[in-house]
């Protein structure tokens, strides 16, 4: 199994606060990894560092053998990493089709033919909505749109930021199935999640963050049973 993403001592300071503190970890190809931890543990900051919207204070990030530390978000996307956002960021006045076309053209360097468009829509349960704008979609639909948009860039590593937040149990089940389908298409997924059912039911591995550091790394079952993790979440 090859390593697709590797973090080496990645650190981010904000003034006196260490949002991310010397994180070192590797992620394998076609792995689904969860990043969990209490609020403020640095999870989204870590995504911002990988995705390029923030530059690390120290450390290195390597993706498929290339050093992507401190590169701009658009360059990182073109290298093959795409992300979704905690609060959805769709292009409100553009159609679903335009979302995906833009992602394919600018992230993947080729336009989207009808067949590929239909495949993506089918994969993310948006079939028949190609002409709709995000306002006509539900929240779950907008989240699926963001995922479809990320996939349309041709990215091989998808970062999902709290995709399950705000979903009904039914929608959560569908989202879990979607993430599985993404992995089956040959991609790697890292998700930030608070919904533990998703973590245990879906992920091969879980990293627990607290105060910017990794305090546990292993299978979801092992990690959630650990005393230290319980302490981090519940305090003492």
Site for another protein, rule CB under 8 A: 14-15, 51, 53, 72-74, 77-78, 82-83, 85, 89-94, 98, 101-103, 105-108, 111, 149-150, 152-153
Residue placing its CB nearer to another protein in the complex, 74 or 228? 74
Tell me how far, at minimum, the Cβ of 161 lies from another protein, in Å.
11
Query: What kind and span of H or E run contains 183?
Result: helix 169-184
Question: What is the 8-class DSSP label of residue 195?
Answer: -
Tell me how far, at minimum, the Cβ of 19 lies from another protein, in Å.
13
Tell me how far, at minimum, the Cβ of 43 lies from another protein, in Å.
17
Q: What are the helix and strand counts (H, E) for the chain?
A: 10, 10
Tell me how far, at minimum, the Cβ of 208 lies from another protein, in Å.
26
Token readout for 197 is: 């059912």
**Exposed, middle or buried, 213 (CB in 10 Å: 0-12/13-18/19+)?**
middle
Residue of 18, 17, 21, 41 whose CA lies nearest to 208: 41
Residue placing its CB nearer to another protein in the complex, 27 or 85? 85
Residue placing its CB nearer to another protein in the complex, 51 or 141? 51
Residue placing its CB nearer to another protein in the complex, 159 or 232? 159
Token readout for 96 is: 């679903």
């Amino acid at each position: 199994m090859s390593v697709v993403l590797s973090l080496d001592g990645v650190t981010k300071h904000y003034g006196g606060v260490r949002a991310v503190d010397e994180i070192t970890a590797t992620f394998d190809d076609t792995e689904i990894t969860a990043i969990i931890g209490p609020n403020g543990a640095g999870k989204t900051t870590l995504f911002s560092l990988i995705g390029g919207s923030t530059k690390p204070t120290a450390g290195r990030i390597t993706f498929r053998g290339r050093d992507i530390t401190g590169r701009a978000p658009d360059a990182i996307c073109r290298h093959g990493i795409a992300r979704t956002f905690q609060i959805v960021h769709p292009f409100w006045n553009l159609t679903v089709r335009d979302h995906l076309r833009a992602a394919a053209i600018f992230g993947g360097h080729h336009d989207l033919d009808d067949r590929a468009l239909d495949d993506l829509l089918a994969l993310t349960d948006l079939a028949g909505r190609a002409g709709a704008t995000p306002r006509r979609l539900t929240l779950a639909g907008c989240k699926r749109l963001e995922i479809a948009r990320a996939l349309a860039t041709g990215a091989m590593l998808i970062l999902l930021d709290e995709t399950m937040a705000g979903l009904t149990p039914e929608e959560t089940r569908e989202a879990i199935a979607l993430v599985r389908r993404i992995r089956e298409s040959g991609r790697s997924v890292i998700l930030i999640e608070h919904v533990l059912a998703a973590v245990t039911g879906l992920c091969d591995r879980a990293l627990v963050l607290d105060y910017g550091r990794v305090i546990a790394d292993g299978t979801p079952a092992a990690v959630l049973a650990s005393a230290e993790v319980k302490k981090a979440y519940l305090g003492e």
